[in-house]
Amino acid sequence: MTSLVGRSVHVRVPATSANLGPGFDTLGLALALYDELDVTAIESGVEIEVHGVGAGEVPTDDSHLVIRSIKHAFDHYSIPMPGIRLVAHNAIPHGRGMGSSGAAIVAGVMAAKGLLEGVVDIDSDDLLTLATELEGHPDNVAPAIFGGLTIAWVTPDGPRAKKLIVHRGVSPVVLVPAATMSTALARSLQPESVPHADAVFNLSRSALLIAALIQSPELLLEATEDRLHQDYRASAMPETNELVRLLRSQGLAAVVSGAGPSILVLGSDPSQRARAAELVSEQSANPWEALMLAVDFKGATVFSHEVAEPA
């Protein structure tokens, strides 16, 4: 596709926190912490620079997740992928339950959307489908694409998502440890079935959580109770589990962020997140970074740089 050579796009993708306590594999929240990438179509090959998080650690060949995601989108439309130059400035922590892999996947499909502008029209449904095919489930990629609070589900015709606007009184903080957690390991600890009472419990809390996040933040503590996944995963991240219990005992709506080991606290006012950070600092012998983040309402963006004339 020599006609694409010289096209360059800038992509910005937010971090996310999935599950939010009871909304296992369904609810996700976009957070104002971003990976930013410049992607340029070149004649051939792959050239990658990574700055910030992951520099010197992530692959710099065609196995890089962003490159794989771009290729997945091009393959979907039966268009040969050109060579790619990728310059990534990463801020989302890796392996901490903040959606770094989902962000990389969304960055790739957004880059493909920008590079293929005028060739193929990739709409929001297509973006969600392409990203979910790679991620396996839509709860992280949906908020990364759309921003805000998202409810994601899967139908016989593919994934779907509904975006909701979060109440301005909700004040998130993510408490990030030095340790990492494998999503695959976390998911392997889930049982195949759960007690009926626990399923009903989580259904009620998930419904309540929607109301708490969009209308009534004072209900966040009760709304973030969970019986489906966090207790089963506790053995893999005991300090996270202990701190979540401590924070909740102090009236703070703390949950495991995604697959962990980070902790998301959904404050109903800004003072609560400062209190959460202080409690963790006092109680843990290990360092935890407190990220005081706003909710991202825009989601992923892509815009084109000036298109150079093909050689």
Evaluate the CA torsion angle 186, 187, 188, 192 in order and state its sign: positive
Residue 245 assigned to a binding site: no
10, 110, 126, 188, 201 from 113: Cα distances, Å: 11, 5, 10, 34, 41
Q: From the CB of residue 285, how many other CB atoms can be counted at a distance below 10 Å?
A: 5
**Rounded Cα gap, residues 51 and 96, in angstroms:** 18
**96 marked among binding-site residues:** yes
For the stretch 237-251, what's the b/e string if a residue is b when 16 or more beta carbons lie within 10 angstroms of its beta carbon? bebbbebbebbbeee
Q: Is 99 annotated as a binding residue?
A: yes
Name the pairing type of β-strands 46-52 and 83-90: parallel
* Whole-number Å distance between alpha carbons of 54 and 88: 10
The answer on whether 52 is annotated among ligand-binding residues is no
Q: Which residues pair with 90 in a beta bridge?
A: 52
Alpha-carbon span 46 to 235, nearest angstrom: 41
> Phi first, then psi: what are they for 155, rounded to 5°?
-115, 170
Using DSSP, state whether 41 is helix, strand or coil: strand
Q: Is 95 annotated as a binding residue?
A: yes
Annotated binding residue 181: no
Closest CA to 214 of 297, 293, 311: 297
54 is in an annotated binding site: no
Distance CA 242, CA 283 (A): 10
Ligand-binding site membership of 1 (annotated): no
Residue 101 marked ligand-binding: yes
Instruction: Determine whether the annotation assigns residue 97 to a binding site.
Output: yes
- 81 is an annotated ligand-binding site residue: no
Binding-site positions: 93-103
Annotated binding site for ATP: 93-103
